[in-house]
Structure 1
């Protein structure tokens, strides 16, 4: 037993600490993939109480141990490779729902609660949390916040930080801090919730989170239009300028349309969720618009619709251990169709692309055996030329070592470093994993 284990075992117990060969196989695989190593020397710690987590962080701060915070570890390989760490802290055992205020439409839960476990609890009161993260069966609330991982529902409900009302987190020195609250209200001051969202664990370790909830709608229907890119662009523009109120509006590359077996050419998936009559009327109006422009239209309902929306993220993300290259992109919404056309051209139709039409945010999945780093750089150059970005989330280590994963070209890097210095002066949390090797 090394010095780290000797220090932390009295805090968390033998059953919640793993080293070397005692690491669960799945954790070994994910850590090896994240750091591109053959042997894992880090110690995995899984505190069962917030007090234990604070004590672990206090010990790490005292001994200057580098820390990698995570939930279930399904996104350890996302973004920057980072420096090997001494201790991996998982919040998977902090998995209690603290309070579901049905009347206030809010829920407070520990960061290790899995979304897949939370949603059935909320559905009992006809409420839900409109998030569709990668790897939904294993994604924890803390991991979803740390990676800002939302999904197609952002068209109606916004992103992760729009739903987040309050957080508790452990600072790098082991002290517990709080921001926000448990009620829906506007507050002035330093918005820590937005800072922690998408920070990849570089500023603190989330312990408890409070989200706003929404009522489940009476009916749901999805219109899928496929065909010529210009017709898809025109239909999308008409839709976004209309009085229709979709909950999801996604543009699909021709490769993704083919993979889903929903038609030919580029695609537009639009989901309506409301009372039955409204869903029927809105779906009919959109199908008419598509038909006038020569697009093939199909209405998905009931189990067919559920299967369709389950298949879409599965095609983009695959399995957490997959060798594909997955990128997050952003462009001005008006350039979305053009961007998917560029993707089809650069990858000869093998690349899978999804862009949320309202926000211009999206995901790309590329095959490393057919796509070179130069292709990714060309795609990034296109995105940046349209006021956007391209970040490589998942990729083989050999690919990540050939390019700047984040590709950040803005002017806020100094501010980011100053914030990092305030929250984590010893640079112990997720070292070198974030933008600019923060």
Structure 2
């Protein structure tokens, strides 16, 4: 098998010398599930020529250097659980600088103006590097799965305070790239606040390091923030260092349901009180019904601390609910665990591949009103931040734009994460028109002058 250089076919021995024969999977040999995930991430007129699986950071750097040398675009990925989030990857290199169609001989994908496109997976970079139990920090390779890391940390009575989508599949690098924090961000803040250090491969194939492995190390702090939520458009993460926390002694969840204004009042009282919940989530009526929590809108509040504190805080919230005429109950232990497991499974469910999943943000005071005013289906909004997720089994581009306008009127935004390629071709999935566009474009130019990292996946085609 051969692949194209700018002028002639060249033997794949060059790639095999970097990652070994087992580290190259051509498109025609790719498993169906991986093909489906990639096809939802790239434009319809493009296909990925192959997926490469480096075994070490050094191999990862060598692969990127090879891609740059051959002017081949790179789609960074881990397990692919969030590969379809954001804009569709497109190639639009000038004809005079481009490769022939397709990287590998016999590949008929792409347009005549497109260079090659390869997916580079960190799934084999999945090792624990260091767990400093006493310092409450952990360093691991970017391809380690979140669930696997949590098992390791649990052995030391610790945990990583992130609640991402697809926790069994999601990799640490993917969580950082998508800034996917989940419900626990109410207490522990976002991924940026958990991240202490990263190492990453630049567009020139060099390995760079930012931050460190101790909590007070602030070297490269802004650079880590830059990579968090960049969707693989600035470089490829090889290792990450997080701060971790002791596992809480006790946990209780209070479920409130009732009239809209009363729920809004309860959320406002809770958020302005001295209570310290770890999660405060507003749920749409459809989602409440699917979770078997009753009828109407819901507010679920989780307290995690020492047993006495959890008991006292739960009791105080029940008093607030009683005064406002809300229905309230405390989940039993098994029911609570099932609730917090079923909640993300329901919101992020992959069973319907045509489902549309959006990330939204509004002013926290407007969150309940959003559920009242717009045709949302499954909705989960973090009451403290106003960030949340909307899920539609079916929706038109016009419906999404209508809700986006509503979010913007409430001081927020709507970003389409997952949707069919047809829907994504009909609208701007990011919808960002703010003043930072020029700055982001300059940053992209600085980090990726050839526009080889996930081109067009981010805001304004970045």
TM-score (normalizing by structure 2): 0.91
Say whether 1:327 aligns with 2:354: no
Q: Which residue of 2 aligns with 1:220?
A: 251
Give a deviation string over 1:9-67, Cα, whole Å, max 9, x none: 22111111100221122211111222254984421001001111111111111111010
1:409 Cα deviation from its structure 2 partner: 1.8
Say whether 1:184 aligns with 2:191: no
Distance change in 2, residues 1:52/1:188 (3 Å): closer
Q: Secondary structure at the match of 1:354?
A: strand
> d(CA) in 1 for partners of 2:214 and 2:300?
34
Q: Are the aligned partners of 1:28 and 1:40 in contact in 2 as well (CA < 8 Å)?
A: no
> d(CA) in 2 for partners of 1:119 and 1:228?
38
Say whether 1:91 aligns with 2:117: no
When the two structures are aligned, how many residues end up with a matched partner? 431
Q: Structure 2 regions of 5+ residues with no counterpart?
A: 5-11, 92-115
1:6 Cα deviation from its structure 2 partner: 4.1
Q: Structure 1 regions of 5+ residues with no counterpart?
A: none
Q: Which residue of 2 aligns with 1:418?
A: 442
Q: Secondary structure at the match of 1:191?
A: helix
Alpha-carbon RMSD across the aligned residues, in angstroms, is 1.5
> d(CA) in 1 for partners of 2:49 and 2:20?
17
Q: Secondary structure at the match of 2:426?
A: coil
Say whether 1:77 aligns with 2:84: yes
Q: Which residue of 2 aligns with 1:47?
A: 54
Q: Give matches, 1:80-119, under 5 Å.
A: 80-83=87-90, 86-119=117-150
Give a deviation string over 1:271-324, Cα, whole Å, max 9, x none: 000111111111111112112211111111322111000111111110287220
> d(CA) in 1 for partners of 2:29 and 2:137?
39
Give a deviation string over 1:162-198, Cα, whole Å, max 9, x none: 1000000000110000100000115366611100000
1:154 Cα deviation from its structure 2 partner: 0.5
> d(CA) in 2 for partners of 1:137 and 1:64?
34
Q: Are the aligned partners of 1:221 and 1:300 in contact in 2 as well (CA < 8 Å)?
A: yes
Q: Secondary structure at the match of 1:272?
A: strand
Distance change in 2, residues 1:211/1:334 (3 Å): same
Q: Secondary structure at the match of 1:3?
A: strand
Q: Secondary structure at the match of 1:87?
A: strand
TM-score (normalizing by structure 1): 0.96
> d(CA) in 2 for partners of 1:39 and 1:80?
14
Say whether 1:57 aligns with 2:64: yes
Q: Which residue of 1 aligns with 2:7?
A: none
> d(CA) in 1 for partners of 2:188 and 2:459?
27
2:38 equivalent among 31, 36, 42: 31
